[in-house]
Every structure is written in C-alpha cells, then in structure tokens.
Amino acid sequence: MVRQGKAAWLAHDLTHRGVTAWLLSALLVAFYLVLYYTALFDRAARAIGLDSKWTFYGILYSLAIVLGGIYVLRKYRHNRYQVVRTAVVMFVQVILAFSIPEILQFVHQPEYYFSYFWPLKFDYWTPETIFRFPLGYILYSFLGSLLLVPLLGIFFGKRWYCSWVCGCGGLANTAGDPLRHLTSKSSASWKFERISIYTVLAVCLTLTALLFVSWGIRTRDPALEQFVDGFQSVYAFLVVAMLSGVVGAGLYPLGGTRIWCRNFCPMAALLGLVQKFGRFRITVKENMCISCGLCSKYCEMGIDVRSYAQANLSFTRASCVGCGLCAEVCPRGVLRLENIRLRHPQQLALIHISPATTRSRTAAI
Amino acid sequence: MRYAIIGNGVAGTTAAFTLRAREPGAEITLISAESDYFFSRTALMYAYMDRMSRRDLEPYERKVYAKQNLRLLCDRVTDLDASRLLLTLESGRALEYDRLLLATGSVGDRPNWPGLDEAHEGVVHFVTLDDLDRCERLTPSTRQAVVVGGGLIGVELVECLVYHRKQVTFLVRSPGYWPGALAGEESAMVSEHIRRHGVDLRADEGVARVLADEGGRVRAVQTQSGAEFPCQLLGIAIGVVPAVDWLRQVKTPPRIERGIVVSSSFETSLENVWAAGDCAEFLHDGRSTVEQLWYSARRQGELAARAMLGDPVRYELPIFYNSAKFFEIEYTSTGIVDPSIEGTRSFFCRLPGKQASVRIVERAGAVVGFNMLGSRWNHTFFERWITERRDLDYVVEHLREAQFDVEFGRVDLAPVHATYRDWKAALHPWPALPRGSGFV
C-alpha cells in the first residue's frame, strides 16, 4: 500500500510505471536522441566553456553516479559489500571513465577509457583503432579482453566487471537503484534474454572478424569492405546508439535499470558464459527461505531468485551481475554471494546428507 | 485417483506439487476461499509497506498450475461427508474425492476482552489476505494505532504502521518483548531497537477493555494498569489458532482438540482424510503439538502427501529452528533456547558497538540451542552440532564456520572468544588440570 501524502504518491508513481514514470522515460529518450543526433548540446557545452557535448554528457553521467552513489551508500550503509562496491563504482566512473580520458585529450593523447573493453567497447578492436593508437593502449586493450575478462570471471564471476567497474552497471546500481525492481521476472522474459543477448554477441563477433578480413583483403575486394562498413554503421546505430543508449537508459523508468545489460550487452554475454564455469555462485541456506519474494522483486537482472531459494538450490546464473541486493533484502539471511574453491568438509556433508525434501519437487516445475 | 486439498497455503500447495511429481495422471484439486493462487503469507507485511505488489507475493508463476495440471477452485468448503467421499462447496457444487488433505492453516486468535465485540470497525489481525485488505482500508483514517501481542506478527504489524507514519503503541503482556523466544538481554536489546523507531512499547501491559465510538469504530484501549491509549486501529496479534471451526459443523467432523488430531503419518480420525500444516495437531505421549511456522507447514505438506501416496511416513518433530527480523535486527534461533527450561545454562555475549548478540545454551555438557541476533548464521551448522552433542568449547571454537554474513561484512568474533574465556574462568576458577595453552 502506498504511503499517504503527495511526495509519497510521486515517489511511488515514478517507481511503479505511473504517469510521471512514462513522462520521465519520454524525457530521457528525447534527451538521448537530441544528444546523439543534434548539435544542441554542443552549443550548450561551449556556452559553459566545455569542448564538446560528450564532455557535457560525461559530467552529467558522473554526477548521476556520484549523487546516486551517495544515496545508495546511505541506504545500504549497514552492508559492507554494498558500501565497498558502491565506492569502487563511483571511483571508477569519476577517475577512469571521466577524468583520465579528459586529461589524455588535454595532453594530446588518444581519448581512452581504461574501464571499457571489447566487445562492449566495440571500436577498441577494429583495425582502424589498432593501427592508430599507441602500442601501450593496444596492449592494455588486449590484456583486458583476453586476460582480465576470463581470469577474473573465473575467480569472481562477471560481477567484477558488471557491478564493480562498468559504467552501465554503475548508473544502474546508483541513480537507478529506486527502479531496479521493474525488471520483468517472467519466464518469458528469461527466454527472450537468452535469445537476444547471444544474438548480439554473435553479431558482434562476426562483425569484428569481418572487419579484420576485409581490412586484410581490402585492395582485392573493395565490395566486401563497403559491405562491412555498412554493417558496422548499422551495428553502431542499432546496438550502440539505440539498444545501449536510447533503450538501455531511456526506458529505465519503465523496464528497469538493466535492459541493456540483461538483453543485449555482448560483454555481459561473454562474461556470463565464463561465469557459468567459474567459482561464483549464490549459496542458499537450506530450508530457511520463507518464499517472501523480495529477492526476486529486487533482482535487476530479472532472475527469479526465490525459485532457487525455496528449493534449497545454490545456483549460478549467467545473467547474475552479483550486485548482492538479493542477499541484502532477504529478511532471513538465506542468500550469500560466494566464490567457492573447495567446500568445507562439513559443508559437503551437509549438502549430501540433507533430507531429500523440496529438492525433487522443484526439479519438476 | 482423485486428490482434493482444502487450503492453498504452503502446506497444501507443497502437497499438491509432491503428489503431482509422483502421480502424473491423478486429478488434483486445490480449494481456497482466501485467494485464487498460492501466496506467501510471510510477505504480507511487504505488500502493506509498498515493497511488493499483491502479485509479487505469489511464489510461482500462474502458468505453473496449468502446466502441472492442478485444478484451482476459489470456493469455500461447507460440508464434508467422509462416508460418501464428498465435499460440498459454498457455490453449491459438489466435489468427490478419493483422498482428502485438510490444510486450512490458522487464523488470528481472538481474545474475549470486554468491549471487543462492540467495536465492529477498526479491529484487525494480520494473518490473511482479508486482514491485509482491512488494514489497508483503515490506514488512511488512522492516526494512532495500538498493537497487542509480543510475538513476531505483532512486531511486523508495528513496522508496517510505523512505515505509514502512524503513532503506534505496542502492548506486551510479559515483562519484555517475546519472552518465549528471547531471554532478558536479547529482549531488552530488541525492545530498545523497536523504541528507537518511535514506537511506544509498553511491557507488562494487558488489555482490560476496548472502547468504541457511537459508530462502532474502536477509539481507545484501556489497560489493566488503568492507562488509556486512544487509537483508531487496534491490531490483535496474540497468536494464531488452527482454522478448524468450520469442521465442527460438517456431517462427519474429524477429531478436533486444539487442531485436527493426526497420527504421526498425518491421518485424521476419518478414513481417507489427512491433515497437515498449522491446522494439524499431534498427540505424542499425552503432549500436544501444533506447529505454526512456514517451515513446518512446508515440511508437513510434503510428508503428508507422501503418506497419502502410501509411503510409510513417521513424522517426528525435528530440531526446532526459526528466523525473524525485528525492524533491522536479524534473528536466527535453533534448538532449545527457552531459558526457563531446567538444567540449562547459557553462554551469552553482546557484541560491543553492535546491535548483535550470541547465546549458546548447554545442558548436561552438550549444546542444545542457539539464539543469535544482529548477524547472519547458517542454522544447519547449529543443527549438526546439536545432533552431534558437541560441547561448548567445541562450538565456540568452531563458531566461525557457521557465520553467514555478507562479503566484507563478517562479524568479528574475537569479543565472543574473549568473553567465553572469562565466563569459563569464572565458572571454574581452579581447573583440575590445565590443558593446552593459554589456560593457566
């Protein structure tokens, strides 16, 4: 039941797909369209002494993460995991994703974002970038995508990136926190996610491969080069501009904060696959779940956490970004994020001896 | 085979899924007058506090029932004729069954306070969906509320009313909050926490009379100490009782004492009728047990279904455990923690600077219970230590293994170990033979 009073009504309406939520969403979509396709913000940026609209946008984005971060730090101040994670997210945004690229430009270096990697930052792995950027940047880029992604993914799950480093996740977990419950938990949305995210990943991998092939034989096959150029601009428009920007952030108030991360991000897809084979899991305390559903409700990735918790099943889902909010909201402390190595012998025994209650049942559902 | 289950709560629904897993072809009907679909009663408070919608309370997607081919009837059973294997429903419909499970749960206990019957409006329990509807309807016209009953449902209702910015008086009959579960120190800590949320918690206060205005709306509660607390909403949370009244009037009532009396394999006194969950009462050697917890209902629902399928089932009370949350303080309890039980003594440690404590209860050299507040614990370790009859030394030494706090948030147990050493030294000032290091 909504609390009484105008302020409470507004807060509820904004966070429960009310009229104001639709208005806000329309505003956000309009903002992104104007930002991407007009020079309006360029003029605005110059008016306040900034070099381009992207600096202006960077300031806005960092501000959202810092202010949202302060709100989140206060809200979850009793939870050390949330405090540490949020502090890291704020640091990465302000330093790695905003200040350093600005400073690099200032000293006439390429504008480089050390917190983004291929395949999320698609253009870091194109022949054009690789042969233009200084060697150090290219080495870092390869190290990040080929070493950091799989290694940290195996040890800590995809969370090291998706909810600790990445700016998309950063915005979702700070300013987006009041909207996190809007992500659909239906099994249909899960089905959609599995198709869409791996489709984008496949397209992304194909495009990267084609770029190198066409670059290699560009003198012999100009038609292919032309085709790949077209392909790349379609990808940049559909995936980068539309899905990650307009849809991903613009629809926050309607579809929750992780529309992009859950359904489209190729980096999340890749990390999710790594995570399935890694050590990260959510451990469920046996027979303590009361099926209240707060975990599912507040999962921003749309995972029906309750279905695992009430069945006593510890689990690893490819989409889980390890934000830890399910464990935070659980009123019975049933869930815990873990990077398991070897289980304690006692724990092993408990896992195997446990009465064969509930487990068989849910397997059927 | 036709199975009918009265009650779609956690016991009934768990039973239905268990039956379906074993009998793919059987006809299974779940009947409930309370809600169309199974919902989580434990989450009522979150719906009241706007943290979830009504739909969010449902633990399974609705299409699961169709997929599992479970028939759901929203109806009330008015008659049971066990000799003809027949149920009569309020809609006039008749339903034949081969095997019947009674899983009707419980309802809020209603005391006989003077004046209560005259207050037609403004008196609520907090157990059913109807109770939630009533609370929500009354909330806008309520400024002050009184909640009576120092248990878990009471504090949940108080938390909801505080969320809605009501001025709440919380009346507890005992000298402290929840004496059945919390000893003095814990009770004081939780009471202080509740008060810190602006709640006027009054211990040692029993209700003497309920006062209503001309319209029949409750307007105040008088206590036995003579105090009067004005209120527009009176929440009664003095406990729950098995919902079995309707069964007394049917053609073939089963044996009912406090609840529906069942054997250790959940059979009632009627042929082909079983009962499970909050409404079932076990009589072992003259001791009556009615378990009214989410966990027990789920366990019983599954076992009763297995009994209905013909499995040999012998229900024995497992080691008790429970969990709760008092505003922000989390609570885990396992085994025997009632301090009034003879022959027990306990080691207690309040963690400095935190609203957290550890209590380990021992009897005859073996640990029998745990009462933990303010941090997270894995009760399965406690169960194991109790079963293995571990002593206090062992348990305190291994306590770390049972911690379940969030990453980076593990509570430091050094104060517990230090307090334990002092506590032991005070108990045995001259140890017979000092063993190991540090024990001089």
Is B88 among the domain residues?
yes
Under a CB-based contact definition with an 8 Å cutoff, are residues B274 and B101 in contact? yes
- Point out the residue among B17, B61, B135 whose CB comes nearest to the CB of A187: B61
Structure tokens at B234: 């009176």
Q: Do A292 and B136 touch (CB under 8 A)?
A: no
Bridge partners of B325? B330
Task: Say if residue B143 is in the same domain as residue B234.
Answer: yes
Task: Say if residue B225 is in the same domain as residue B265.
Answer: no
Is A340 among the domain residues?
yes
- Give one DSSP letter per residue of B253-310, joined into a string: PPPBSSSEEE-TT-B-SSTTEEE-GGGEEEEETTEEE---SHHHHHHHHHHHHHHHTT
Total structural domains within chain A: 1
Bridge partners of B96? B86
For A207, B117, B345, the CA distances from B22, given in Å and listed in that order, are 50, 48, 46
Q: B177-231 pLDDT, tens per residue?
A: 988 889 889 999 999 999 999 999 999 999 999 999 999 999 999 999 999 999 9
Residues found in chain B: 440
Nearest Cα of chain B lies from the Cα of A345 at a distance, in angstroms, of: 11
- pLDDT value at residue A363: 32
Q: Do A365 and B64 touch (CB under 8 A)?
A: yes
- Please indicate if any CB of chain A lies within 8 Å of the CB of B317: no
Is B342 among the domain residues?
yes
Q: B384-428 pLDDT, tens per residue?
A: 999 999 999 999 999 999 999 999 999 999 999 999 999 999 887
Label residue A342 by pLDDT band (50, 70, 90): low
For residue B389, is it left (φ>0), alpha (ψ between -120 and 50) or beta?
left
In chain A, residues with a C-beta closer than 8 Å to the C-beta of B51 are 294, 297
Is B316 among the domain residues?
no
Task: Say if residue B64 is in the same domain as residue B130.
Answer: no
> In angstroms, rounded to a whole number, what is the distance separating the alpha carbons of residues B145 and A346?
48
Query: What three-state secondary structure class fits B360?
Result: strand
- pLDDT value at residue B172: 95
Nearest in space to B317 (alpha carbons), one of B348, B270, B284: B284
Nearest Cα of chain B lies from the Cα of A63 at a distance, in angstroms, of: 27
Higher pLDDT, A341 or B311: B311
Is B118 among the domain residues?
no
Nearest in space to B149 (alpha carbons), one of B201, B184, B188, B219: B201
Query: What three-state secondary structure class fits B98?
Result: coil
Task: Give me the residues of B, 131-160, that contact A with CB < 8 A.
Answer: 135-136, 139-140
Return the percentage of chain B with pLDDT > 90, whole number. 90
Q: What are phi and psi of B218, to 5 degrees?
A: -60, 135
- pLDDT value at residue A217: 86
Task: Say if residue B331 is in the same domain as residue B400.
Answer: yes
- CATH number reported for the structural domain that contains residue A282 in this entry: 3.30.70.20
> In angstroms, rounded to a whole number, what is the distance separating the alpha carbons of residues B412 and B354?
11
Under a CB-based contact definition with an 8 Å cutoff, are residues A158 and A272 in contact? yes
- CATH number reported for the structural domain that contains residue B250 in this entry: 3.50.50.60
Handedness of CA A334, A339, A345, A349 (dihedral sign): positive
Label residue B430 by pLDDT band (50, 70, 90): low
> In angstroms, rounded to a whole number, what is the distance separating the alpha carbons of residues B255 and B267?
11
For A146, A223, B68, the CA distances from B56, given in Å and listed in that order, are 41, 54, 20
Q: What are phi and psi of A317, to 5 degrees?
A: -110, 140
In chain B, residues with a C-beta closer than 8 Å to the C-beta of A361 are 14, 17-18, 21, 302
- pLDDT value at residue A346: 42
For A50, B185, B342, B356, B398, the CA distances from B188, given in Å and listed in that order, are 59, 5, 23, 12, 28
Chain B's closest residue to A365, CA to CA, is B64
Question: Per residue, what are the HEC states of B141-152?
Answer: HCCEEEEECCCH
Is B112 among the domain residues?
no
Is B435 among the domain residues?
no
> In angstroms, rounded to a whole number, what is the distance separating the alpha carbons of residues B309 and B22?
8
Which residue in this structure is represented by tokens 């032309």?
Answer: A226
Is A312 among the domain residues?
yes
Under a CB-based contact definition with an 8 Å cutoff, are residues B158 and B178 in contact? no
All residues at 6 or more sequence positions from B279 whose CB lies less than 8 Å from its CB, including other chains: B7, B102, B103, B104, B105, B106, B242, B243, B244, B259, B260
In chain A, residues with a C-beta closer than 8 Å to the C-beta of B384 are 346, 350
Q: B236-245 pLDDT, tens per residue?
A: 999 999 999 9
Query: What three-state secondary structure class fits B83?
Result: coil
Which residue in this structure is represented by tokens 């940026």?
Answer: A45
* Full domain range(s) for residue B153: 123-238
| pLDDT, chain B, mean | 94
- The identity of residue A312, as a single letter, is N
Q: Do A287 and B295 touch (CB under 8 A)?
A: yes
* Last residue within a domain, chosen from B238, B262, B277: B238
Task: Say if residue B234 is in the same domain as residue B249.
Answer: no
- pLDDT value at residue A219: 80
> In angstroms, rounded to a whole number, what is the distance separating the alpha carbons of residues A322 and A45?
36
Q: A23-59 pLDDT, tens per residue?
A: 999 999 999 999 999 999 999 999 999 989 999 999 9
User: Is residue B24 packed enough to be buried (19+ CB in 10 Å), middle (13-18) or exposed (0-12)?
Assistant: exposed
Q: B85-131 pLDDT, tens per residue?
A: 999 999 999 999 999 999 999 999 999 999 999 999 999 999 999 99
Q: Is 70 exceeded by the pLDDT of residue B440?
A: no
Task: Give me the residues of A, 296-315, that contact B with CB < 8 A.
Answer: 296-297, 306-307, 310
Is A107 among the domain residues?
no
Q: Do A333 and B380 touch (CB under 8 A)?
A: no
Alpha carbon of residue B61 to chain centroid: 25
**Cα-only R_g, chain A:** 22
Task: Give me the residues of B, 324-343, that contact A with CB < 8 A.
Answer: 324-325, 328, 330, 332
Task: Say if residue B26 is in the same domain as residue B71.
Answer: yes
Structure tokens at B416: 């517990």
Task: Give me the residues of B, 11-50, that contact A with CB < 8 A.
Answer: 14, 17-18, 20-21, 40, 42-43, 46-50
Nearest Cα of chain A lies from the Cα of B158 at a distance, in angstroms, of: 15
- In the sheet that holds B2-6, the strands lie side by side as B70-74, B27-32, B2-6, B99-102, B273-275
Query: What three-state secondary structure class fits B89?
Result: strand
- pLDDT value at residue A358: 36
Nearest in space to B147 (alpha carbons), one of B126, B165, B120: B126
